[in-house]
A = this chain, B = another copy of it.
Amino acid sequence: MSGLIDRLRTCVGAAHVRSEGDLAAWERDWSGRYQGKALAVVSPGSTQEAAEVVRACAQAGVSVVPQGGNTGMVGGGVPDASGTQVVVSTRRLDRVRAVDTANLTMTVEAGCILQAVQEQAQARGLLFPLSLAAEGSCTIGGNLATNAGGTQVLRYGNARELCLGLEVVTAQGEVWNGLSGLRKDNTGYDLRDLFIGSEGTLGLITAATLKLQPRPGAQLTAWAVLDSVAQAVALLDLARGELGPGLTSFELMSRSSIGLLAAHHPTRHPLPPEGPWSVLVEASGTGGEAALAECLERLFEQAMTRGLVRDVVLASSLAQSQALWQAREALPLAQASAGPALRHDIAVPISAIDGFLQETDAYLARTFEGVQIRCFGHLGDGNLHYNMQAPAGVDAHAYLARHQAAIHDAVWRRVTACGGSIAAEHGIGQKMVDPLHRFKSPVALGLMRAIKQGLDPRGLFNPGRVLGEVSS
Contacts and interface: CB of A to CB of B under 8 A. Distances in A.
Interface of A: 100-105, 146-147, 149, 153-154, 157-158, 160-161, 170, 172, 174-178, 180-191, 193-194, 196-198, 202, 214, 216, 233, 237, 240-246, 285-287, 291, 295, 347-352, 378, 381-383, 419-428, 432, 436, 439-441, 443-448, 450-455, 466-467
A158 B184 contact: yes
Given A295-B287, A455-B451, A189 B198 contact: yes
20 contacts: A103-B350, A147-B190, A161-B161, A175-B443, A177-B441, A181-B382, A182-B420, A186-B425, A188-B466, A189-B451, A190-B193, A190-B198, A193-B193, A193-B194, A214-B244, A216-B244, A287-B287, A450-B455, A451-B454, A453-B454
Contact of A454 (B158, B161, B185, B454): B454
Contacts of A451: 189, 194, 451, 454-455
A138 to B, nearest CB: 15
In the complex this chain forms, how many copies of it are found? 2
Nearest to A466: B188
Given A244-B245, A424-B185, A447 B102 contact: no
Nearest to A165: B419
Contact of A194 (B158, B176, B189, B245): B189
A309 to B, nearest CB: 18
A186 B105 contact: no
A391 B345 CA distance: 63
Nearest 6 A/B pairs, CB to CB:
A454-B454, A245-B245, A193-B193, A102-B351, A185-B421, A244-B286
B419 A181 contact: yes
A226 to B, nearest CB: 16
A184 to B, nearest CB: 4
A452 B447 CA distance: 11
Contact of A444 (B178, B244, B424): B178
Contacts of A350: 102-104
Given A191-B447, A424-B186, A448-B191, A419 B180 contact: yes
Given A193-B193, A350-B102, A447-B170, A383 B183 contact: yes
